[in-house]
Amino acid sequence: MGRILFYLKNMNICFYHICDEVEAKETEKFQFPLCCLPALAANEVVKSLNIPERIKLAITSRRMENLVKRASSKTPLTYAFYVYNENPQIYIENQKEEVAIIGETTWKEDQTNCIGIRQLVPWLNWKRSNLWNMTHVLRKIRRIIPTGRFELSLNTDKLSVEFLKKLIAIPELNTMQMLKIGKQIESDILRILMDWCPKNVTFVICTDSIVPSDFHHEKALKFSTVIYYDARWVKVQDLFTLENSDEVRLCDNILTSEDMNRFLGFWMESDLDMFREFSMWADTLDIREVLKDIMHVKTSRDGRDYSMIKSTQKLKMMSVIIEEGYLRLHVYSPEESFQKEYKVLELMEQKNKLETELQALEGDEAGARKLTMEIREVKKELDSNCTFFDGKTGIIAQ
């Protein structure tokens, strides 16, 4: 019997009748217009197409546009609006890593994946600018094929302030979930972007970027996710402004052990949810200096050594670890993990508080005896929960 395969060619459905694994015969009598297929069959044909093929089909007519829209309703894509040298391009990818590049490009990509300006003519308005047209194409494609994620990627070395202001005035770009910027970054460009960018986005300064060392912005560390490969401009005072971030990642930086010690102390006293995860390059950091004078519990999980600290303002605790050249901080609620460590920190805190109260008592023997008994009970409970403890450090041996 063999196998029957089909493909789309010039708006016609062509069938291959494969008789065996070597010979493939094209049967012309099975070639007919796509528009003549029943709706269900046409829908299945479109589902078999890759991203560039679907877009090229949608360009041909409003009917094909609607067909592609129906067939693509459950396949959200990742969209990137990429601006290099003030020349916008649209980059689209699905979960199968199929890619489409739309616009004039010199990227070394498979040309079958590229859709050039000439192919987009039915969707373009030649009285408008290239920026307007590419934004219009982006808007149109996103209405046809749903968006899973939308990114804006800028080569800021090639952008003028005038062009950037036109760019950020486009409403379509306000729906992005991620902003990526690269190359040489001027302070005025970065300030405009941070002023404009909503806090619920991922803000990325890419690996090849250089930020002026004196740069400062009050929103710089207030985005949902912060990934700065050049973070040499970040000062410890900037870290104090963190608020409600899911992830903060600082690569190349000049922060010291003393800076991070101050930061941990600030976090312990803060009544804000500053971040969930924090990491930074830590080649020059000393964990002993980072934790100096900070109450902490040392413990182990899954072959990794952690130092746990506790917030004095909220029911939160943080794991502190230096590994593979990174300082990694992770914030937990006591219900999530490290319940025993949290209990030990509470007991150590209670013991220190009682000892301070005892030292302040003068001439109250009854009160002193009561506090001494309470301290003895706390120490007894500490002995049953950890291997070692003193004023600032506890150890739980696993």
What average pLDDT does this structure show over 317-340?
Answer: 94
pLDDT(198) > 80:
yes
- Distance of alpha carbon 151 from alpha carbon 77, whole angstroms: 11
pLDDT in tens, 8-47: 655 555 555 455 555 555 444 455 566 666 778 778 888 8
Whether 186 maps to a domain, the answer reads yes
Residue 42 domain-assigned (yes or no): no
Phi then psi for residue 199, to 5 deg, are: -75, -15
Choose one of 298, 327, 355: the last residue of a domain: 298
Q: Do residue 286 and residue 381 come from a single domain?
A: no
pLDDT tens for 169-182 read 999 999 999 999 98
Based on the domain organization, do 353 and 219 belong to the same domain?
A: no
Q: What is the pLDDT of residue 14?
A: 56
Residues 22, 56 within the same domain: no
C-alpha 79/C-alpha 90 separation (Å) is 7
Segment 76-110, tens digit of pLDDT: 889 999 998 888 999 999 877 778 899 876 555 55
Q: Are residues 30 and 176 in the same domain?
A: no
Are 248 and 377 in the same domain?
Answer: no
- Asked if residue 293 and residue 371 are part of one domain, the reply reads no
By residue range, what is the domain housing residue 86? 52-60+74-298
Residue 312 inside a domain? The answer is no
SS (H, E, C) 137-196: HHHHHHHHCCEEEEEEEEEHHHCCHHHHHHHHCCHHHHHCCEEEEECECCHHHHHHHHHH
Please say if the pLDDT value at position 232 is more than 90. Answer: yes
315 domain-assigned: no
How high is the pLDDT of residue 13?
A: 56
- Considering the domain architecture, whether residues 171 and 269 belong to the same structural domain is answered as yes
Classify residue 66: in a domain, yes or no: no
Instruction: Please check whether residues 259 and 153 belong to one and the same domain.
Output: yes
Kindly report, residue by residue over 260-308, the tens digit of the pLDDT. 999 999 999 999 999 999 999 999 999 999 999 999 999 998 889 999 9
Same domain, 363 and 254: no
The number of distinct structural domains making up the chain is 3
